[in-house]
Amino acid sequence: MLLNAVVIVLREVLEASLIISVFLALSQILNRSLKWMLLALVLGLISGFIYAGTISTVSMAFGGIGQEIVNATINILIFIALIIFVYAIPHQTNQRCRQLTVIAIMSTVILAIMREGSEVLLFITGFIGVPDLLGPVLMGGAVGAGLGVSVGVFIYYFIVNLIPRYGVWVGYLLLLLVAGSLMSQAVEFLIQADLLTSSEPVWNSSNIIDEHSVAGQLLFALLGYEATPQTSQVIAYICSMTALFCVAMFSFIKRDRN
Amino acid sequence: MKSIRLYLLLALLATITLVNFVSLLHGYQSSMQKAQNLFDSRLESTAILIASANSRQVGQETVTNQQTPYTFFQIIDDNGQLLTRSENAPDKVLGELEQGFHIINFGSYRWRNYVYRDTVLQRWVIVAERIDIRYMLAEDVVMESLLPIVMAIPVAALIIWFAVGIGLKPLNAFASQLSERRADDLRPIELERVPKELTTVVNNTNSLLLRLAEAFDREQRFSADAAHELRTPVSVLKVHLHNLRTRLGKDDEDIILLRDGVERMGHLIEQILALYRTSPDQAAVKFEHVDLFKMVQEIIARGYDAFESKQQEIELDGESHIIEGNVFALETLISNLLNNANKYTPEKGQIHAVVRRHEEGVLLRVEDSGPGIPEDQYQRVFERFYRLHGDQHNSGVVGCGLGLTIVKHIADLHHASIQLGTSAWGHGLRVDVIFPLRAVNYA
């Protein structure tokens, strides 16, 4: 049980800590205040508790596919916030863009922590009535959270200690991966809800890296790895990364022309 | 990186957590495997024991007194006929009759069984255990050894925090010595124990401080020499001018212009020297206890002739207040304020000086009944060589536009604030200089 708990909590915490560490690092490189980030962390945790508390109601909505729809919506909203963030970053002399940056950072962090936090909470609270398993689950959760946060700390200091220009680009690269992963997951949720049709997997790499192994979960959190992705997921992954990249380039070119 | 201490704490803690937890997972997997092997060997022993203990069982019979709910046994003959079994065992053979370990499903659980071939009595003995219980028991044992590793992380965080704090003490001591120093303190920095990493920084800083002190010394000597060298020819010029006026016996217009020019030059030299000596970045300034009221009183007395010549009424109010300051600089500040009041206040005008307690420290106020300064010029009059109405200054008084700049420098040197305003007469200038509490000594 301990291993299962490690894998599940690690996956959720790693996803959230990746987003937070990239935003923290970019905020520091760009001399943005961190108070918004702290506020977003607190709000995200509160939202996570509320979401976990109302999950049964949410699940029953839309004819039993409420949770899938809400999760897909959260992912899409985070993706939109990332688009706004990469657009606004090069224009920090503009007051409106500065405000947009803060809004994008806060929205992303709140939504990410809300979703990942609620999933961890739901997993752990599911074992409250099983005393024999609660110990291993809590310990597994602590180990998974410790590993996830530690990786986040390393990513943060890695970006911060780079030359600022490279730090921004590494941060952008990680955000591209996050965007691809988010949209691929959003499509998966919609397929689970039967709102999109499923297809045969484009490839099957289970025999190389099992999706449910620790390595598979790490790759899932960092790159959005899926052992058997469907065509629509691959398309969503590539399109979302391309879209974010294009918006970032467009914004930098626009700033340089001005 | 905003804080070295925080960076070291987080980086070390993240490293310890990663390494420890990855080892923990590896150890967990190995320990679980060892525990499973132990359970398997116990299962095998149990099967042999059951075979020996049930050697006389020949018919189908159920044993009711020996099994826990999560283990069972069966004894089967070569024809697959069940000879005997525990009460909770299935009444038929599950899985293959082949010696060794197998996994079977029974009663909604997965079971690990061991099939034993009793070659003496030509029969099969099967002993099985529930897999989930085996895992739970194994996990219970392994968890006891893993718990301290997880619990050690917060303890490690606390130890790292204090250890890094101790390691950074010399750096903090170095920083606090630098930040607590007065601008005029250019002594070398002395640390009790300088770690290797800080040696270069401390040595270079001390060498820089030494060079700065030497440079300030040189500049001070230059200032004194320049003052002497410039004052003497101007004084000689004044004497010759006086002799010339006496010899000519009348105030020729050219002589008057010449006299004004020499006075202006003398004033300019004094002001430039005062500006240099009182500049906030001029470190060689010694502070001592000064009675501000008494100082104002003495300066008014010294310059009384100037007020008398213009028939001005000058009044000093307030009480004695001791502040910490530089005597020369404060005398220059007060003289400049009073000279300005004297120069720009018309004949028979009024000048009022006050030294009294203020909520933020001690207030020195000088106000006059002169023309004053327009409010929009309050900031500009502190600029060097700025004179109200520019070069077309029509007050007819000798000035160079440095008086209030010097006052500002001296105020900054004493961390005092300056406020300009309209005097009590409704048109003159009021200058308030507030010396802060920390510069005030009420003892």
Contact of B17 with chain A, judged by CB distance below 8 Å, is answered with yes
- Which of helix, strand or coil describes residue B58? coil
Cβ within 8 Å, pair B18-A150 = yes
Residue pointed to by tokens 């962090």? A109
Q: Closest residue of A to B142, CA-based?
A: A136
In a domain, B386, yes or no: yes
d(CA A128, CA A192): 28
**B194-230: pLDDT as tens digits:** 888 888 888 998 899 899 888 877 876 776 677 667 7
**B30-42: pLDDT as tens digits:** 888 888 899 999 9
Cβ within 8 Å, pair B24-A143 = yes
B154 CA to chain A: closest CA distance, Å? 11
Average confidence score pLDDT of chain B: 82
SS (H, E, C) B203-230: HHHHHHHHHHHHHHHHHHHHHHHHHHHH
Chosen from A153, A155, A159 to mutate, greatest number of chain B CBs within 10 A: A153
d(CA B333, CA B355): 14
| Partner B, chain A 18-47, Cβ-Cβ below 8 Å | 28
**What is the reported pLDDT for B277?**
67
d(CA A235, CA A187): 10
Contact of A130 with chain B, judged by CB distance below 8 Å, is answered with no
A132 CA to chain B: closest CA distance, Å? 8
d(CA B79, CA A118): 57
CA angle B32, B36, B38 (to 5 degrees): 115
Contact of A138 with chain B, judged by CB distance below 8 Å, is answered with no
Residue B1 is nearest to which of A1, A151, A161, comparing CB atoms?
A: A161
Contact of B18 with chain A, judged by CB distance below 8 Å, is answered with yes
Q: Do B320 and B262 reside in the same domain of the chain? A: no
Which of A32-36, B2-6, B75-79, B355-359 is most confident?
Answer: B355-359
Q: Is 70 exceeded by the pLDDT of residue B392?
A: no
Contact of B21 with chain A, judged by CB distance below 8 Å, is answered with yes
Q: Do B279 and B292 reside in the same domain of the chain? A: no
Contact of B70 with chain A, judged by CB distance below 8 Å, is answered with no
**A207-227: pLDDT as tens digits:** 888 877 777 877 887 788 888
User: Among B348, B350, B358, B336, which Cα is nearest to B431's?
Assistant: B336
A258 CA to chain B: closest CA distance, Å? 32
* Distances in whole angstroms, Cα of residue B186 to Cα of each of B210, B326, B409: 7, 18, 21
* pLDDT, average across residues B283-307: 84
Q: Do B380 and B277 reside in the same domain of the chain? A: no
Q: Rounded to two decimals, what is the model's pTM?
A: 0.66
* pLDDT, average across residues B316-323: 91
SS (H, E, C) A104-166: HHHHHHHHHHHHHHHHHHHHHHCCCCCHHHHHHHHHHHHHHHHHHHHHHHHHHHHHHCCCHHH
Which residues make Cβ contacts (< 8 Å) with residue B220, sequence separation at least 6? B284
Contact of A134 with chain B, judged by CB distance below 8 Å, is answered with no
Which residues make Cβ contacts (< 8 Å) with residue B347, sequence separation at least 6? B310, B311, B312
Contact of A143 with chain B, judged by CB distance below 8 Å, is answered with yes
Contact of A3 with chain B, judged by CB distance below 8 Å, is answered with yes
Q: Do B263 and B323 reside in the same domain of the chain? A: no
**What is the reported pLDDT for B13?**
92
In a domain, B298, yes or no: yes
In a domain, B392, yes or no: yes
Contact of B22 with chain A, judged by CB distance below 8 Å, is answered with yes
Among B234, B267, B284, the domain boundary falls at B284
User: Among B290, B299, B295, which Cα is nearest to B325's?
Assistant: B290
**What is the reported pLDDT for B292?**
92
Q: Do B209 and B308 reside in the same domain of the chain? A: no
Average confidence score pLDDT of chain A: 87
d(CA A110, CA A211): 27
Residue B25 is nearest to which of A6, A150, A153, comparing CB atoms?
A: A6
What angle, 0 to 180 degrees and rounded to 10, lies between the N-to-C axes of helices A164-192 and A214-223?
110
Measured over the CA atoms of residue B321, residue B327, residue B333 and residue B339, the dihedral's sign is positive
- Which of helix, strand or coil describes residue B283? coil
- Which of helix, strand or coil describes residue B111? strand
Chosen from A7, A139, A158 to mutate, greatest number of chain B CBs within 10 A: A139
Q: What are phi and psi of B424, to 5 degrees?
A: -65, -20
d(CA B79, CA B81): 5
**B123-153: pLDDT as tens digits:** 888 899 888 888 888 888 888 878 888 888 8
Residue A139 is nearest to which of B10, B135, B143, comparing CB atoms?
A: B143
Domains of chain A are 2-257 (1.20.1250)
Measured over the CA atoms of residue B261, residue B266, residue B272 and residue B278, the dihedral's sign is negative
> Which amino acid is present at B331?
E
Q: Structural domain of residue B238, as residue ranges?
A: 185-284
Which residues make Cβ contacts (< 8 Å) with residue A128, sequence separation at least 6? A134
**What is the reported pLDDT for B368?**
92
Q: Do B107 and B209 reside in the same domain of the chain? A: no
Cβ within 8 Å, pair A2-B139 = yes
Q: Is 80 exceeded by the pLDDT of residue B268?
A: no
* Distances in whole angstroms, Cα of residue B65 to Cα of each of B44, B134, B310, B363: 21, 22, 128, 102
- Which of helix, strand or coil describes residue A168? helix
Looking at residue B212, which CATH number applies to its domain?
1.10.287
Looking at residue B358, which CATH number applies to its domain?
3.30.565.10
Q: Is 90 exceeded by the pLDDT of residue B389?
A: no
Contact of A223 with chain B, judged by CB distance below 8 Å, is answered with no
With bands split at pLDDT 50, 70 and 90, how would you rate the model's confidence at B61?
Answer: low
Q: Do B157 and B79 reside in the same domain of the chain? A: yes
The domain total for chain B is: 3
Pick B270 or A62 by higher pLDDT: A62
Residue pointed to by tokens 């980086």? B11
Q: Which residues of chain A have pLDDT under 50?
A: none
**What is the reported pLDDT for B400?**
66
